Structure 1
Amino acid sequence: MWLNNILETIGNTPLIKLNKVAKELPCTVLAKVDYFNPGNSIKDRMALKMVEVAEQEGRLKPGGTIIEGTSGNTGMGLALAACVKGYKCIFVTTDKQSKEKADILKAVGAEVIVCPTNVLPEDPRSYYSVAKRLGKEVPNSVYMNQYDNLANRQAHYESTGPEIWQQTEGKITHLVCTAGTGGTITGTAMYLKEQNPNIKIWAIDVYGSLLTKYYRTGEIDMNQVHPYISEGFGEDFVPQNYDMSVIDYFEQVTDKDGAIMARRLAKEEGLFCGYSAGSCLQGLMQLKASLTPNDLVVCILHDHGSRYVGKIYNDQWMMERGFLEVKTFKDIVSGRIGKKLITVEPAHTVAHAVELMKKYDIEQIPVMLNGNMVGALSEGGLFQKIFSNPEIKNALVETVMEHPYPIVDFETPVERLGSLINKENGAVLAKDETGHFHIVTKYDVIQSLAK
Structure 2
Amino acid sequence: MPEKMSNEKVDTLRALGAEIVRNISHFCKPVFISPGMSHSWRLHKQIPESIILDQYRNPGNPLAHYDTTAVEILDQCGGKVNMVVCGAGTGGTVTGIGRKVKETLPDCKVVGVDPEGSILAEPEALNKSSITAYEVEGIGYDFIPTVLDRSVVDKWYKSNDKESLQLARSLMREEGLLCGGSSGSALSCALKAIEDADLKKGEVCVVILPDGVRNYMTKFLSDQWMMERDLLPQKDITDQYWWWDTTVAALRLEAPLTILPEVTVQEAIDIMKRKGFDQMPVVDVNGVILGMVTLGSLLTRVISKKIDYKDPVEGALYRQFKKVSLNMPLGKLINLLHTHHFALVTHSQIQYAGANKDEKKKEVIIGIVTQIDLLHYISSVEEGVRHRTLSVGEP
Normalised TM-score (structure 1): 0.52
Structure 2 partner of 1:210: 119
Identical aligned residues as a percent: 34
- 2:322 matched residue in structure 1: none
1:147 aligns with 56
Counterpart in the other structure of 1:389: none
Partner of 2:202: 294
Distance of 1:308 and 1:284 partners within structure 2? 22
Asked whether the equivalents of residues 2 and 27 of structure 2 are also in contact (C-alpha less than 8 Å), the reply is no
- 1:101 equivalenced with 2:52 (yes/no): no
Distance 1:146 1:222, change over 3 A: farther
Does the 8 A contact of 1:204 with 1:279 survive in 2? yes
Within 2, Cα distance between the matches of 1:221 and 1:310? 29
- The residue aligned with 1:244 is 150
The answer to whether the Cα contact below 8 Å between 2:126 and 2:158 also exists between their aligned partners in 1 is: no
Using the TM superposition, give the Cα deviation of residue 115 of structure 1 relative to its aligned residue in structure 2, in angstroms. Answer: 1.5
- Residue among 77, 87, 101 paired with 1:178: 87
Q: Which moved more, 1:313-322 or 1:135-144?
A: 135-144
**Cα distance in 2, alignment partners of residues 442 and 162 from structure 1:** 66
Residues 95 and 117 of structure 1 are in contact (CA less than 8 Å); yes or no, is this contact kept in structure 2? yes
Which of 395, 400, 411 is the matching residue for 2:330?
411
Q: Does 1:111 align with 2:19?
A: yes
1:169 equivalent in structure 2: 78
* Misfit runs of 4+, over 3 Å: 118-126, 219-225, 328-334, 437-444
C-alpha separation between the residues in 1 aligned to 2:245 and 2:384?
10
Of 212, 215, 237, the match for 1:304: 212
Contact 1:333 1:438 in 2 (8 A): no
The answer to whether the 8 Å contact 2:119/2:127 transfers is yes
Task: For residue 443 of structure 1, report the CA deviation from its aligned partner.
Answer: 11
1:349-368 matches, within 5 Å, as none
Q: Which residue of 1 aligns with 2:270?
A: none
CA deviations on 1:174-230 (whole Å, 9 max, x unpaired) are 111111100011001111111111111111110000112xx214x997977711111
Q: Deviations over 1:327-350 (max 9, x none)?
A: 14446889xxxxxxxxxxxxxxxx
Distance 1:140 1:296, change over 3 A: same
Deviation at 1:141, TM superposition (A): 2.0
Distance 1:426 1:319 in 2: 20
Letter of the 1:109 partner, please give it: G
Amino acid in the other structure paired with 2:160: T
2:90·2:139 contact (CA, 8 Å) conserved in 1? yes
Give distance in 2, aligned partners of 1:300 and 1:329: 38
| Aligned-pair CA distance for 1:136 | 2.8
Deviation sequence 1:346-385 (CA, Å, 0-9, x none) = xxxxxxxxxxxxxxxxxxxxxxxxxxxxxxxxxxxxxxxx
SS in 1 for 2:123: helix
Going from structure 1 to structure 2, the CA distance change for 1:168 and 1:112 (only over 3 Å counts) comes to same
1:255 aligns to 2:161 (yes or no): yes
* C-alpha contact (below 8 Å) 1:181/1:233 kept by paired residues: yes
| Shift in CA distance, 441/159, structure 1 to aligned 2, threshold 3 Å | farther
Query: Is residue 172–residue 297 contact of structure 1 (8 Å, CA) maintained in 2?
Result: yes
Query: In structure 1, what residue type is equivalent to 2:161?
Result: D
What letter matches 2:102 in structure 1? K
Residue matched to 1:428: 379
| Aligned-partner residue type, residue 315 of structure 1 | D
Letter in 2 for 1:179: A
Question: SS of the residue aligned with 1:428?
Answer: helix
- Residue 199 of structure 1 corresponds to 108
Q: CA deviation at 1:108?
A: 2.5
Counterparts in 2 of 1:4-403, with a 5 A limit?
93-118=1-26, 121=29, 129-212=38-121, 215-217=122-124, 226-289=132-195, 290=197, 291-324=199-232, 325=234, 326-327=237-238, 328-330=241-243
How many residues end up aligned between the 2 structures?
Answer: 265
Deviation, 1:438, is: 11
Over residues 13-53 of structure 1, what are the superposed CA-to-partner deviations in whole Å (9 max), with x where a residue is unaligned? xxxxxxxxxxxxxxxxxxxxxxxxxxxxxxxxxxxxxxxxx
Choose between structure 1 and 2 for higher RCO, CA contacts under 8 A separated by at least 6 residues.
1
Correspondence for 1:5: none
Cα displacement (A) at 1:315: 0.6
- Which residues of structure 2 form unaligned runs of 5+? 248-327, 336-370, 390-395
**Cα shift readout 1:47-77 (whole Å, capped 9, x = no counterpart):** xxxxxxxxxxxxxxxxxxxxxxxxxxxxxxx
Secondary structure in structure 1 of the residue aligned to 2:61: helix
Structure 1: unaligned runs, 5 residues or longer: 1-92, 335-408, 431-436, 445-451
Structure 1 residue 161, shift from structure 2 partner: 0.8
SS of equivalent to 1:266: helix
- 8 A Cα contact 1:428 1:441, kept in partner: no
Quote the Cα distance in structure 2 between the aligned partners of 1:442 and 1:323.
Answer: 35
